[in-house]
Amino acid sequence: GKISKDTRFNVGVEPKDLTRNLEIVEETVNDGLMLKKATYHWYNTINETMKDTMAHIHDIQPMPTLLMYGTKDLIVDTRAIDEFKEKYQTPELYFKAWQGFYH
């Protein structure tokens, strides 16, 4: 069947997956502005935008760029960041993989 574009789903991101800092985890749990649900439309838009970005990466104008991630990130696929880093053509690219860090 069809899914309404306004149907909401749990985001699936747990505050404990963002950081090991228990104080920040507690603040995140109690933060009323923290996104806990997303619409299908929002999720689909994000995914399509990421695909389009990679499909047209050679059209992105070169600019100074900083890419960072934690090697223990449980939220993003760090392989996608590595792919972006390899394909994006810019004379000024700074990259840091933070060993053992989360998102």
Tokens 């700074």 correspond to what residue? 94
CB-CB contact of 68 with 76 (8 Å): no
Residue ranges for the chain with pLDDT beneath 50: none
The reported pLDDT for the residue numbered 1 is: 65
Tell me the three state secondary structure of residue 20. Answer: coil
Q: Pick the closest to residue 72 from 48, 35, 99 (CA basis).
A: 99
Report domain extents, the chain: 1-55, 59-103
The reported pLDDT for the residue numbered 6 is: 79
